[in-house]
Amino acid sequence: MARVGVFICHCGANIAGKVDVEAVSEAAINIPGVVYSSHQKYSCSEAGQKVIIDAIKENRLDRVVIGSCSPKMHENTFRKTVQQAGLNSYMLEIANLREHVSWVTADKDEATKKAMDLVKAAVGKVSFAKPLTPGQVPVEKRALVIGGGIAGIQAALDIADMGYEVVMVEREPSIGGRMAQLDKTFPTLDCSACILSPRMVDVAQHPNIRLLTYSEVENVNGYVGNFNVIIRKKARFVDERICTGCLECMGKCPLKKKIPNEFENGRAPRGAIYVPFAQAVPKVPVIDKEYCRYLLSPDPDKVEVKEGEKKPKRKCGVCAKVCTQGAVDFNQQDELISEKFGAIVLATGFNLFDHSKYGEYGAGKIPDVITALDFERIVNSSGPTEGKIVRPSNGEKPKRVVFIQCVGSRDEAKGVPYCSRICCMYTAKQAILVREKLPDAEIYVFYMDIRAAGKGYEEFVLRAQREYGANYVRGRVSRIYESNGHMVLKAADTLVGMPVEMDDVDLVVLATGSIAREDSVELANTIGITTDNHGFISEVHPKLRPVEVPREGVFACGACLSPRDIPDAVATAGAVAAKVGVLFSNDILMSDPMVAEIDPLKCAACGACVSVCPYSAITMEEFRGKKFAKVNEAMCQGCGTCSAACRPGAAQLKGQTDEQILRSIEAVLQW
Amino acid sequence: MVENPKFKIIGFFCNWCSYAGADLAGNLRLTYPADLRIARIPCTGRMDPLFALKALLEGADGVMVSG
C-alpha cells in the first residue's frame, strides 16, 4: 500500500487568503493512501523543504503530494526536495492551488472545495507513480549563432573564446547588421564603424568561428545538446576561397550605379556584383541574380537551336573577364549544409517601422521627409553624400531641420503600442550631428516624452538642448506639406497649449520605431519557439530568464527579443554566451524520463503508434519472429499520442500512464 | 434550473498551451467559476477517449479538452 504525504502550502496569503488550508490539510488525511498531512507558510522555503524532508523520513512516506503554486513554478524545486529525502524524484505530484484555484476563484468555500478536489486528483495520480530514471544524452559542444549583428558577433566571440566551436549564419552578404549602418553612437558619439569593424574582423579570423554569410537556416530538428540544423548557403557566384577582395569586378559591372543599395537604405546605388559596404566581412562580392545580365540571359545549353542558327551567347559576363583570380563562378548552386549543434543562439535583430502609413507626414512621398536611418547614411562620411547633410530634393544645405519622434512607436492606431526605447537617444544624437556639421541651422525636435533611462543618457539629451541648441517642442506634428520648395509643418505645443505652424522647413527626420523582422514568426516556427503579439521572440521569463526561450538549448539576445540599444544588445549577448557555457560545461545531459515505452508482450504490432508519432520516434522491430513497436527514447518528446492511439494499452507514457490518469479522474469525482 | 448550479467539469489541458494559459489567467487574477478541475496532460495527443468516458461515467457534468 502506498504511503502518501500531503503538504499544503499557504504561499503567504496567496493561497491561504482564499483557500482554507487547514481544512484541506485535515480532509486530506482521509483520502485513501494518505498517511500524513500538514500545511506550511512557504513550502518552497528552506524551512518548508526541511519539514517535507523530515516528514518523509519520520513517516516512511513513499509518495508526496504538494498543494502549492503551478508545477511550472516549483516542480523542479520539489523534485530535488523529495530526492534529498531519499525518494525517487518522480514520486511527486503537485496540486496547483494558486494559479488554478486561489487566484481565480472569488468565493472562499468554492475555492476550498476545488482545492480539495485537486489534492485528491494528485493523490490518485501519485498512488500509481513509479520511480523513473532520466536517460543520458551526450552534448555536442558546438553553437549555432543566427544573425551577424552586434549581438550575434558578441555572443559568437564570447562562446568561441571559451574554446567552443561556433558557426555564425548571416543572411546578408556581410556581417555587421544595423550597427554597421550607423554613423555615431549615443551617448559617447563613438564612430559606430570604428568600434564595430574590429569585432567583425575578429569573427572572421577567430579559429573557433566558421562564418557562413549569405546563408539562412532552413530546418531545425533534435533537442538540447543534439540539434540537427540544415543551412542553405545561397549561391554567391563568387568563390570565397579564391577571391582576394580586390573588388575590380564591381567597378566594371554595367549596372554599377543602377540598383539601390539596401545597406544605404536605398540612398546610394550598387551594381549587380557588389559588397554592401567598404568594411564588409567577408570582403567577397555577391552577384545579385535578380539583376545580373549574365544570369538573366538564357542558358545557351538549354535553348533549342534550329539547324543553321547560331547558338545564342550569354550576355555580359564582364566581372568574370576582369577577375584575375577566376573567382567568378556563374554555375554555383545553393548549397545545403547539415550540421550538428548543442545550442542555438538567435540574434536576428529588428526592422524599422515603415512610415508610409503616415499620410500626414507625406506617406513617404515628400523627398525631404526622411527616416532616421536615412539620416545615419547621409551624415556618414562613407554614405551617399560623403557625410554632407543635404536636402535629398535639391542637394542644398538645409537651414531648418525638424526631428519628429515616436513615428510608429506609442501609436496604437497606426503603429505599435510600445516605446522603441532608442529613438529619444538617437534623435538627440542626430540633432548634435546637425549642429556639428551645420553651425547655423535651426534645429527643432517634436517629442511626446523624453525617455532617457541609461548611463549618461539624460545628460546627453540636455547637452543636445543646452550646448547644441536643439529646440525641444513637446507635442505631435499633425501635418507636413510642400510649399514653395520648402515644407510647412503644423503641430501643437502641448506645454503652452498653442498650435504651432512652421514654414520654410528644409528637412524632416522621422524617428521611426523598432519592429520585429517580418519573417520572425516564420523563423520561430522553424525553430519551434514562440513570439509575442508583435513578432518579437518570447523569453521563458522576462525577468529571471531573459535570454532563454521556451525550447531548451535555444537562446536569444539583442533586438530580436524587444527593442533595445547597443549596450543592452551586447549585455544580453554576453549573458547568452554564459548560458551556452553552462550548457557546454556538461559532457552528458539528463533527458526527461517521461517518455513513452511499449510493452512488447502486449503489443499487437498494429502500427497505429508508428503512424501517429509526430517525432518519428517509434519503429517496428522483430524478435524471434514476433513483431512489436519500439520507442527511441532520445527522439521521444513525451507527448503520449502513441499511448492514446494504442488499443491493447501496450504504449504507456511514463509518469502519465492510463492507470495514473484514470485514477485521478476517479479521485476527483468519487472520493 | 437551480440558481448558480454547481458543476464538476473535468478539464484535460495541454501542458504547453492551455495549462500554461490557465496559469496565466491566475497570474492576471482573472476570476472564473470554480466548476472546472484541470488535469495536466503532456499534449492533447495524450487525450484517450477513455478518459472522457471515464469522467462522464464517474459522474462528471462535462469534459473540456483544450490544446
On the question of pLDDT at A474 being above 70, the answer is yes
pLDDT tens, residue by residue, A38-91: 999 999 999 999 999 999 999 999 999 999 999 989 999 999 999 999 999 999
Instruction: Please count the structural domains in chain A.
Output: 5
Residue B2 lies in a domain: no
Q: Nearest Cα to A22, choosing from A41, A46, A50, A2? A: A41
Q: Give a yes or no: residue B60 inside a domain.
A: yes
A118 CB neighbours in chain B (<8 A) are 37
Could you tell me the CATH number of the domain that includes residue A192?
3.50.50.60
Tell me how long chain B is. Answer: 67
CATH number, domain containing residue A631: 3.30.70.20
The verdict on B61 touching A (C-beta cutoff 8 Å) is no
Mean of per-residue pLDDT scores for chain A: 94
Of A105, A117, A639, the CB nearest to B42: A639
Quick: pLDDT tens for A598-620.
999 999 999 999 999 988 889 99
Residue type, A290: E
What is the spatial distance between Cα A643 and Cα A657, in angstroms, rounded to a whole number?
8
Residue type, A496: V
Judgement on whether residues A601 and A578 belong to the same structural domain of the protein: no
**Residue of A612, A665, A668, A671 to mutate, interface with B, max B Cβ within 10 Å:** A665
In a domain, B4, yes or no: no
Q: Which residues of A touch B30 (CB under 8 A)?
A: 104
* Residue numbers of the domain that contains A625: 595-653
Which chain B residues contact residue A641 at CB under 8 A?
43, 45-46
Tell me: the pLDDT tens digits for A492-507? Answer: 999 999 999 999 999 9
Intra-chain end-to-end CA distance of chain A, in Å = 17
Can you give the pLDDT at residue A391?
Answer: 95
Q: Please name the member of A71, A641, A668 whose beta carbon is closest to the beta carbon of B10.
A: A668
Q: What average pLDDT score do residues A366-391 get?
A: 95
Residue A660 domain-assigned? no
In a domain, B28, yes or no: yes
Q: Which residues in A lie closer than 8 A to residue B20 (C-beta atoms)?
A: 72
Probe site for chain A from B40, B61, B66 (most A CB atoms < 10 A) = B40
Which residues lie below 8 Å from residue A53, measured CB to CB, with a gap of 6+? A81, A84, A85
pLDDT of res. B3: 62
Is A16 in the same domain as A123?
yes
Which DSSP symbol is given to A398? P
Q: Does B21 map to a domain?
A: yes
What is the predicted pLDDT for the residue at A221?
85
CATH code at position A27: 3.40.50
- Please report the pLDDT score of residue B2 as a whole number: 53
Residues A550, A646, single domain; the answer is no
Give domain status of residue A668, yes or no.
no
Q: Which of A106, A658, A661 sits opposite B39 (nearest CB)?
A: A661
Pairing of strands A165-169, A142-146: parallel
Same domain, A58 and A188: no
C-alpha closest to that of A430 among A505, A515, A373, A382: A373
Q: Is residue A270 part of a domain?
A: yes
pTM here?
Answer: 0.80
In a domain, B50, yes or no: yes
Cross-chain Cβ contact B48/A665 below 8 Å = no
Q: CA-to-CA distance for A559 and A241, rounded, in angstroms?
A: 32
pLDDT at A637 over 90: no
3-state secondary structure of B4: coil
**Residue from the list A118, A643, A661 with its beta carbon closest to the beta carbon of B37:** A118
- Residue A375 reports pLDDT greater than 90: yes
Among the partner residues A106, A114, A644, nearest to B45 by beta-carbon distance = A644
Shortest Cα–Cα distance, A73 to chain B (Å): 10
Q: Is A13 on the interface with B (CB under 8 A)?
A: no
CA separation for the pair A231, A584 (Å, rounded): 22
CA distances from A157 to A204, A390, A553, A557, A565 (A): 10, 38, 18, 14, 19
- Give pLDDT tens digits along chain B (67 positions): 456 668 999 999 999 889 989 999 999 999 999 999 999 999 999 999 999 999 999 999 999 999 8
Instruction: Specify whether A624 is located in the same domain as A643.
Output: yes
A305 within a domain of the structure (yes/no): no
pLDDT single digits (tens) A529-549: 888 889 999 988 888 899 999
A124: nearest CA partner in chain B: B39
Considering A104, A133, A162, which residue would you say is the last residue of a domain?
A133
Is residue A182 within 8 A of residue A138, CB to CB? The reply is no
Whether A173 and A265 map to the same domain: the answer is: no
Domain assignment present for A296:
no
Closest of B62, B51, B63 to residue A640, by C-alpha: B51
| Cβ proximity of A551 and A525 under 8 Å | no
- CATH code for the domain in which residue A284 is found: 3.30.70
Same-domain check for residues A413 and A447: yes
pLDDT band at A174 (very low <50, low <70, confident <90, very high): very high
Instruction: Tell whether A185 lies on the interface with B, counting CB pairs under 8 A.
Output: no
| Cβ–Cβ contact A661 with B under 8 A | yes
Q: Which residues of B touch A98 (CB under 8 A)?
A: 26
pLDDT of residue A606: 94
Same domain, A322 and A367: no
CB of B20 within 8 Å of a chain A CB? The answer is yes
User: Which pLDDT tens digit goes with each residue over A185-205?
Assistant: 999 999 999 999 999 999 999
Does an H or E element contain A53, and which? Answer: helix A46-58
Q: Say if B32 falls within a structural domain.
A: yes
Q: Show Cβ contacts of residue A39 under 8 Å, excluding neighbours closer than 6 positions.
A: A7, A8, A9, A10, A21, A22, A24, A25
The candidate with the shortest Cα–Cα distance to A212, out of A243, A181, A233, A235, is: A233
Domain range for B27 is 9-66
Least CB-CB distance to A664: which of B20, B32, B39?
B39
Q: pLDDT by residue (tens digit) across A115-171?
A: 999 999 999 999 999 999 988 889 999 999 999 999 999 999 999 999 999 999 999
- Residue B36 counted as domain residue: yes
Q: How far is B2 from chain A (nearest CA, A)?
A: 17
Asked if A107 is an interface residue toward chain B (Cβ–Cβ < 8 A), one would say yes
Residue A156, C-alpha cell as written in the block? 559568437
CA dihedral sign of residues A298, A303, A306, A309: positive
CB contact under 8 A, B39 and A665: yes
Q: Quick one: A227 and A324 in the same domain?
A: no
> Which residue type, as a one-letter code, is found at position A623?
F
- Whether A313 is covered by a domain: the verdict is no
Q: Does any domain span residue A421? A: yes
Size (chain A), residues? 671
The pLDDT, as a whole number, for residue B4 is 64
Place of cell 580586390: A246
Query: What are the b/e assignments for A414-440, b being 16+ CB within 10 Å?
Result: ebbebbbbbbbbbbbbbbbbbbeebee
Together in a domain, A423 and A501: yes
Q: Check if A588 contacts B (Cβ < 8 Å).
A: no
Do A504 and A552 reside in the same domain of the chain? no
- Same domain for A120 and A174, yes or no, is no
Q: Which of A549, A564, A584 is the last residue of a domain?
A: A584
Are A514 and A350 spatial neighbours (Cβ–Cβ below 8 Å)?
yes
Q: How many cross-chain Cβ pairs, A to B, lie less than 8 Å apart?
A: 104
* pLDDT on residue A57: 95
The tally of domains found in chain B comes to 1
Give the tens place of pLDDT for each residue, A550-559.
888 999 999 9
CB A434 within 8 A of CB A441: yes
Q: Give the mean model confidence (pLDDT) for residues A362-388.
A: 93
